[in-house]
Structure 1
Amino acid sequence: MTDERPAPRGMRRFRRAAALLVAATLVATTGSTIPNGSGPGWASPGLVGGGGWPVTGAPLSPAEAPGASYLPGSSVVRLADGRVRLVPFGTETSVLVPPDDPQVTAAVRTDNAWLADGTVPGDGFAERGRYGDRYRDMATRALLDLRLLTRPNGASLASWYGAWRYCWPRDSAFAAAAFTVTGHLTEARRVLRFLARVQHEDGLWAARYRPDGTAVADGRDPQLDSVGWVLWAGWLYRAQTPPGEDLPELWPMVQRAADHLTRSLDTEGLPPPSSDYWERDRGREQDPRRPTLGVVGPVLAGLRAAAALADGYGGGTKAARWRTAADRVSAAVTRQFAPYGYPRSPVRGGLMDTSVTFIAPPFAPSDPSVTTAVADAAGKQALPNGGVLPGERWAGNKLVAWTPETALFGLNAAASGRIDEALGRLDWLTVHRTSLGALPEKIGETGRPAGVAPLGWTASLVVLTLSALKRPLPIPPVG
């Protein structure tokens, strides 16, 4: 989720004004047109690329979108009049060229080769006799968009547009995971190196970073869920790659992060209250004294992942310490969240939200009571258009579905073996992409994209879901 997540009250008016200023600046300097009826004015049908290094993307103007399409397996766009838009090698601005321009062939060949270096998880299911390769186009586009959103220095951006053109460690962790499971290890390492480089000495990360790696000082405190997600992504990378692909920066980063989480636990075994993926002031939660499940779930997954990593690095003392910390968090979840059905805040009548999937596969072993809670949350958050709201009794627009949350339910279904449910989520996502096939942040009541596109987090989750359908994703070991 991005800057439209609920924010501290003291910041919301400022951000609204800043977003409008950014939009006005973009229109004035690039000649972009704001699409009507597609959200608050920062939608795009997708990114244009060029296949060269440094890999970069530029938005396609909505005015050029009718009749436009990507050349197969690439980020090169053929317009309705036959001309081709691409980003030439070594630049960051797209240009129009005739279809027989040699740059077109070179760019398409480079994108095709990059995809072939790994796997595209939307295909290869035909042998299971049910769904063939009908998700290949969505998987291809998601991977290519993640590549365009990942800067040469490893900063994986939420999206291309002003208020989204930042790197959230949370979102970056999922991008690294998506690159890992598809075998695009150069990109996975690049993202993890960036995260190691910008990590604070105390093990934390800022809420978000500019593309150049400088932290954004906007009043947001560090968000503890991101620490857990980065640990999980680091463990997934190590678990899925051969020893020759080791990353020297990984182990020091893991030690700092896991040590911080271990020290942060209170006598109950819970981390301190913190903003999570909603980016909402913790004072607005049902129980502001305790962390939400959106924090606790990633912290638990992260500590388990760190302990498994320590085993691999020969850090027996660290492994024991972090495993004990994970056991304390797990016991706290059982005591404080389970009696109420795993709501967002551990209180009687606590509201459900998507973070219940964070304590379920592929982030934690399957548990019948959690499975029931996931179904409960999905039902309470469901919208008539087929998507879901971020949480029960969502305070924002109650008619707009969010694609990351929809994809998280799909990922859990795929990782838990509920194939039909996972396919239903994927079907909804694939038919609600932009005209170019990019995955947007939100879908409006009429079924049209209602937010920025592409959104990196959703793209990562779709790749992970499709990968889980093809081959079970590893789960951080318990004990």
Structure 2
Amino acid sequence: MSTKTRRGPVRPPAARPARRGGAARRRRTRRLVAFAMVMLLAATCGATLPGRPRPQWTSPGLIGGGGWPLAYQPLQADEAAGASYLPDSSVVRLADGRVRLIRSGGRQPITVAGDDPRVAVAVRGDRLWLADGRIPGGDSVYRDMAVRALLDLRLLTGVDGAVTASWYRHWRYVWPRDAAFVAAAFQVSGHPEEARRVLRFLARVQADSGLWAARYRPDGSPVADGRAPQLDSLGWVLWAGWFVTAGSSAPGADELWPMVRRAADYLAGSLDAAGLPPPSPDYFERDPDKEADPHRPTLGVAGPVLTGLRAAADLASRIGHAAEAGRWRRAARRLAEAIAQAFAPHGYPRSPVAGGLMDTSPTFLGPPFAPADPGVEAAVLEAARRLRLPNGGVLPGERWRGAKTVAWTPEMALFALNAAACGRVEDALRRLDWLNEHRTELGALPEKVNSAGRPAAVAPLGWTAALVLLTLAALEEPLPIPPP
């Protein structure tokens, strides 16, 4: 639905006696001046207005502990100066030497002396969990970033697999898209049970139609806020299910089969006569009516749908569902041909139009989501060039409607992942360096970085953490790619 307000013709005001009209105008003027002064004060010194709370999303990271079930609380920004995590843990040493943690079975943080025995217990729990898996990147200069990303994802993931995008208000929801990447990150870091737990949650909340809501509360209830289902999420969840069960000894494919069948059948049945899925919001979460071509999907939808269909077909073939495998493979081929006809001639822009704007979505058509293609790689490099900001980061897309000087870390990490998976090692390392250098005071990966190079918005952001871990893993050995 359009957000524009329908306006009729402007009617001239009725004639009034001059004296009474002048008094009314003076009263209106005084009210407008007074209102303007209040708004000016709120904008320039709002933090000092009585009763106005400080924005809590400026937290530089989460406090946790090594116990089970896990719990977390944000560390307030004014406590971050001089604070740091104890190595390989979510336990924080404050500037005064005391330690803040959440003890096993607790929900609220406690502050204790550094030699309190509960500190050692909490740290040991985190370190044992890390030791159960592996740290992508090993002992490289990125180890601290990888450890922090892993521990943050662990804190954001509930007992039932509900992994929230972050901790603060509008981010404390489960987006299937983000959760899919978190499952893949747990898999490459040697934590398959956490990966399957995330996928089980997604299977539980999936509608019988195969769709997912745009987002869910941690209890699994969909958020009814008018957001339409986002078809790219189906593709990403199918890819994650395939990724987590792709190894020869990886269990769980049969358990995920009902979820896979519903989602893949929906996507295969959604393709139009040209072979494209219908318009839908993608990772921009924007109404398709606002796109350059509102009648066709963006590349941010078409790319993940293609990846998901290929992944589902391969998974079905592996566990003996030949009919479904054939049907989904044929749908994937139709979609691949449609993308080649609609997007490739224009250089893979966001919408399939001449002179279309670029965004990050050409990365969805290359490794590790699809086999390498010279045309796609050229589009990725061109998109990265166009989206680059003076602070070294990237915007989500050209002519971005949000802040024009604020970089977004998930997009930077997507370019890093593509570079690593394509063998452009120096490009990947340069982007990882930027992400590493723009973490918060506690080392968490934020959602955004402002023009001054300072972390902005919420931290940590699960999607960015997951992408960083996948990038580090891809630099060590090739990630699996769904066969075409």
TM-score by length of 1: 0.90
Distance 1:336 1:394, change over 3 A: same
Larger C-alpha radius of gyration, 1 or 2?
A: 2
* Distance in 1 of aligned mates of 2:350 and 2:85: 40
* Residue pair 1:120, 1:136 contacting (<8 A) in 2 also: yes
Partner of 2:397: 391
Could you tell me how far 1:89 is from its partner in structure 2? 1.4
Could you tell me how far 1:303 is from its partner in structure 2? 0.2
Partner of 1:447: 453
* Residue pair 1:196, 1:249 contacting (<8 A) in 2 also: no
| C-alpha RMSD of the superposition | 1.9
Output one character per residue of 1:403-451: Cα deviation in whole Å (capped at 9) or x when no partner: 0000000000000000000000000000000000000000000000111
* Distance in 2 of aligned mates of 1:123 and 1:161: 31
Could you tell me how far 1:44 is from its partner in structure 2? 1.1
Output one character per residue of 1:114-152: Cα deviation in whole Å (capped at 9) or x when no partner: 01111101225xxxxxxxx10000000000000000011
Larger RCO, structures 1/2 (Cα 8 Å, 6+ apart) = 1
Identical amino acids, percent of aligned pairs:
66
* Residue pair 1:181, 1:240 contacting (<8 A) in 2 also: no
Query: Are residues 1:165 and 2:167 paired?
Result: no
* Distance in 2 of aligned mates of 1:79 and 1:91: 20
Partner of 1:209: 216
Partner of 2:162: 155
Query: Are residues 1:107 and 2:122 paired?
Result: yes
Q: 1:73-472 counterparts in 2 under 5 A?
A: 73-123=88-138, 133-240=140-247, 242-243=249-250, 245-246=251-252, 248-472=254-478
* Distance in 1 of aligned mates of 2:366 and 2:76: 40
Instruction: Give 2:475's aligned amino acid.
Output: L
* Residue pair 1:8, 1:280 contacting (<8 A) in 2 also: no
* Distance in 1 of aligned mates of 2:134 and 2:295: 45
Distance 1:32 1:459, change over 3 A: farther
* Distance in 2 of aligned mates of 1:107 and 1:247: 34
| 2:103 aligned counterpart, secondary structure | coil
Of 45, 53, 61, 2:60 maps to 45
Moved over 3 A (4+): 7-10, 31-34
| 2:182 aligned counterpart, secondary structure | helix
**Aligned residue pair count:** 442
Distance 1:9 1:467, change over 3 A: farther
Output one character per residue of 1:49-83: Cα deviation in whole Å (capped at 9) or x when no partner: 11111112110011110000000100000001110
* Distance in 2 of aligned mates of 1:313 and 1:369: 34
* Distance in 2 of aligned mates of 1:402 and 1:221: 23
Structure 2, unaligned stretches of length 5 or more? 5-45
Instruction: Give 1:199's aligned amino acid.
Output: Q
Instruction: Give 2:440's aligned amino acid.
Output: T
Could you tell me how far 1:240 is from its partner in structure 2? 3.3
Partner of 1:70: 85
Structure 1, unaligned stretches of length 5 or more? 1-6, 11-23, 35-40, 125-132
* Residue pair 1:70, 1:77 contacting (<8 A) in 2 also: yes
Instruction: Give 2:406's aligned amino acid.
Output: V
* Distance in 2 of aligned mates of 1:156 and 1:8: 32
Partner of 2:40: none
Could you tell me how far 1:91 is from its partner in structure 2? 2.1
* Distance in 2 of aligned mates of 1:183 and 1:422: 22
Instruction: Give 1:218's aligned amino acid.
Output: D
Distance 1:188 1:364, change over 3 A: same
| 1:50 aligned counterpart, secondary structure | coil
